[in-house]
Copies of this chain bind each other. A is one copy, B any other.
Amino acid sequence: MSVLTVTLNPALDVTYPVSRLTRGATHRVVRPSVRAGGKGVNVARVLHTLGDEVVATGLAGGSDGDRLVRELTADGIAARFSPISGETRRTVSVVDADGEATLFAEPGPRVTDKEWAGFLALYEELADAADVVVLSGSLPAGLSVTAYAELIRATSTPVILDAGGPALAAGAAAGPAVAKPNKDELAAAGGDPLSLGATAVVVSDGPAGMRVFTGDGVWHAAPPETVTGNPTGAGDAAAAALARSRHLPWPERLADAVALSAAAVDHPLAGDVDLDLYLRFRRSVTSNRR
């Protein structure tokens, strides 16, 4: 089983641990950490942790784009990013000793038509070689809202689409195997999952769990206990679960997504999962038909 994850707007995620953030002060950051981020990169990280074969692709540019690829490679994840002239963005998280995080998010680079064409050629090759494709996150400036629809139509490999806003509606219309909005994203896209165009729609609702809407029916699963924490990491873990379990029937698949998502949510870094917690949750989560 081989998964291709697509991150069109990845980021270099920088964490600055400080004793306490104080406005107007100078903070000496003794141990800054840097790692490759962005929703599709997080999906790739979860799959790699679980021992799955995964390739991370997307658009990367400038010295931070080079570093993103280097960091991924150092973490053992195959990275095949297409070059752009703009500089890959950074996110900086200042984390206090009590865990309070303050985030600074740079805007992404602008992508040209020529760069998009270059990516498409690489993508077609990689997607055709994969068993499943995961498209995750926001579109960088310069791309059409139909960018995800183009990627879905460009391959016969099943695609999981994890996006919100106009990219969700325009992408789902191209008929991916799965669309995975959260409750708010679904409401913004009209609220009716089966009219979106995807074969199945998984709707996440935080600690209340997830529902899947399919032609065969609707199922619901919820985590066995409330875990609060990092919702980005939780959504990316759910997408990873949906990719790796694609041969299972929907009740099992949904339960797996809920369990893996819950095992990721208490980790401060998106892309990390607690494998023991995952296995424990996997035994206790069940899906119920609605």
Copies in the complex: 2
What per-residue 1/0 map shows which CB atoms of A22-44 lie under 8 Å from chain B?
11111111101000000000000
What per-residue 1/0 map shows which CB atoms of A80-94 lie under 8 Å from chain B?
000000000000101
Instruction: Report how far A25 CA is from B93 CA in the complex, Å.
Output: 10
- Contact A102:B64 (CB < 8 A) given known A30-B107, A92-B92, A107-B30: no
| Structural contact, B24 and A101, CB atoms closer than 8 A | yes
* List of B residues within 8 angstroms of A105 by Cβ: 26-29
Query: At the interface, yes or no: A106 with Cβ under 8 Å from chain B?
Result: yes
Instruction: Report how far A24 CA is from B101 CA in the complex, Å.
Output: 5
* List of B residues within 8 angstroms of A66 by Cβ: 63
* List of B residues within 8 angstroms of A63 by Cβ: 63-64, 66-67, 70
> Could you list 30 examples of A-B contacts with CB < 8 Å?
A16-B92, A16-B104, A16-B106, A18-B104, A21-B23, A21-B102, A22-B102, A23-B23, A23-B96, A24-B100, A24-B101, A24-B102, A25-B102, A25-B103, A26-B103, A26-B105, A27-B103, A28-B105, A29-B104, A29-B105, A30-B107, A32-B106, A32-B107, A62-B67, A63-B64, A63-B66, A63-B67, A92-B92, A92-B104, A94-B104
